[in-house]
Amino acid sequence: MEGRFAARMQTVHRSFIREILKVTADPSIISFAGGLPNPRMFPVPAMEAAAGEVLSAMNGPASLQYSTTEGDPVLRSIIAERYAKKGVTVDPDEILVTTGSQQCLDIAGKVFLDKGDIVAIEAPGYLGAIQSFSVFEPTFVTVPLEDDGPDLAALEETFKAGAKLFYAVPNFQNPSGVSYSLEKRKAVAELLDRYDVVFVEDDPYGELRFMGEHLPPVYSFRKKPGLLNGSFSKIAAPGFRIGWVVAPGPVRDKLVVAKQASDLHTSTVAQAIMRNYLENNAIDEHVEAIRETYGAHRKVMVEMIERHFPKGVEFTRPEGGMFLWVTLPEGCSSMDLFDVAIKRKVAFVPGRRFTQTAGETTPCGSTFPMPIPNGSRKASPDWAKASGIS
């Protein structure tokens, strides 16, 4: 049986970050590796109360039964209302609840990608997306990420070359921390419309802005809307695996079919607990508390880098989210630095792989990403074994 694997399995690899995290399993290591939310910010008592109601004698039978592939309609309405508050108009029937936002990538791949299709991704780019799309054997082309978003000329080049799909994280990107400016959002939207490219806009961190002004998603500026992915992982808790994708009706219908083939539907119990939590708690206040905590950590991080890092080192100053990207001077290797740091009991994720995986080479190890420490700096064995890189 071992000799009979599909061809795609030669290009789909285990998470690189996961391998790094094994090294950081030692609890004496201070880890800046990976994007794990701060568990101190999880709304534990509220979730306990929600679970109690959901699994009461009255509600239990329905909460434990099979449910629809589309997801709980009330949960979808709540998601739509939260978009509306931010000025984004979304019909609940255009929302599909997914098993984490990672599943949005899998089903988008299923619905859109034939072998050899060109997928444009940011460089550096989110490894989880590269892993997910790789299953469908596309050709990846990378678009350099600048301080305010993608290099527009390079992006247009990939579109001209026939890119079918563009995947991006316009807010506080994983791994760079970069956010798209308003101008670049509009420009990207215009290019997408002009070349009719399928856009998968991943936005798990958009609400975690601790400075600057909230900007609408690229989705808002489109004439032909694309896919907009969201998640409760960073604003409530990742352990439920509840994300969603917004897509125009005919596309959502295809995504529903793809999800049905993947896992029938997302956990009824998990959706019911999340819905009950949202109905009975002020999540916006909770998100505000997360923002304050993460913002304070980011401030310390930036100050410490400014104070202690040598001249010639550059780094992004993210306005939100969980990631910060450091660029080493020409000739320095982030892989070598990792070896030095780990001996001093400090871990980070070398940046090299974030572009290399896409099949291109970058100046060897000139960069490394570093997530903002968020209060749980010590790697637990569980986290070390965790596969999560979103």
Ranges within 115-134 binding a copy of itself (CB under 8 A): 115, 117, 128, 131-132, 134
Of 299, 293, 289, the C-alpha closest to 376 is: 293
The answer to the question of residue 355 lying near a copy of itself (CB under 8 A) is: no
Cβ distance to a copy of itself smaller for residue 266 or 327: 266
155-194: contacts with a copy of itself (CB under 8 A): 164
The answer to the question of residue 277 lying near a copy of itself (CB under 8 A) is: no
Site of tokens 């961190």: 205
When binding is defined by CB under 8 A, the residue of 23, 51, 78, 302 that contacts a copy of itself is 51
Least CB distance from residue 143 to a copy of itself, whole Å? 19
Least CB distance from residue 212 to a copy of itself, whole Å? 28
Least CB distance from residue 251 to a copy of itself, whole Å? 6
Least CB distance from residue 345 to a copy of itself, whole Å? 23
Rg for the chain, CA atoms, rounded: 20
Cβ distance to a copy of itself smaller for residue 146 or 263: 263
Q: Directed axis angle between helix 249-263 and helix 100-112, to 10°?
A: 110
Cβ distance to a copy of itself smaller for residue 110 or 291: 110
When binding is defined by CB under 8 A, the residue of 48, 81, 93, 148 that contacts a copy of itself is 48
- Binding-site string for a copy of itself from residue 369 to residue 388, where x marks contact by CB under 8 A and - marks none: -------------xx-xxxx
12-41: contacts with a copy of itself (CB under 8 A): 12-15, 18, 36-37, 39-40
When binding is defined by CB under 8 A, the residue of 143, 178, 251, 278 that contacts a copy of itself is 251
Can you give the three-state secondary structure of the chain, one letter per residue?
CHHHCCHHHHCCCCCHHHHHHHHCCCCCCEECCCCCCCHHHCCHHHHHHHHHHHCCCCCHHHHCCCCCCCCCHHHHHHHHHHHHHCCCCCCHHHEEEEEHHHHHHHHHHHHHCCCCCEEEEEECCCHHHHHHHHCCCCEEEEEEEECCEECHHHHHHHHHCCCCEEEECCCCCCCCCCCCCHHHHHHHHHHHHHHCCEEEEECCCCCCECCCCCCCCHHHHCCCCCEEEEECCCCCCHHHCEEEEECCHHHHHHHHHHHHHHHCCCCHHHHHHHHHHHHHCCHHHHHHHHHHHHHHHHHHHHHHHHHHCCCCCEECCCCECCEEEEECCCCCCHHHHHHHHHHCCEECCCCCHHHHCCCCCCCCCCEEEEECCCCCCECCHHHHHCCCCC
Please tell me the count of residues contacting a copy of itself according to CB under 8 A. Answer: 96
66-125: contacts with a copy of itself (CB under 8 A): 66-70, 99-100, 102-103, 105-106, 110-115, 117
* Region near a copy of itself per CB under 8 A, out of 150-158, 182-190, 240-248, 314-322: 240-248
* Region near a copy of itself per CB under 8 A, out of 142-150, 166-174, 244-252, 296-304: 244-252
The answer to the question of residue 218 lying near a copy of itself (CB under 8 A) is: no
* Region near a copy of itself per CB under 8 A, out of 262-270, 287-295, 318-326, 333-341: 262-270
When binding is defined by CB under 8 A, the residue of 30, 55, 152, 313 that contacts a copy of itself is 55
Cα(271)–Cα(279) distance, integer angstroms: 12
Can you give the three-state secondary structure of 137-163, one letter per residue?
CCEEEEEEEECCEECHHHHHHHHHCCC
The answer to the question of residue 60 lying near a copy of itself (CB under 8 A) is: yes
Least CB distance from residue 228 to a copy of itself, whole Å? 13
Cβ distance to a copy of itself smaller for residue 104 or 215: 104
Cβ distance to a copy of itself smaller for residue 23 or 269: 269
Least CB distance from residue 94 to a copy of itself, whole Å? 13
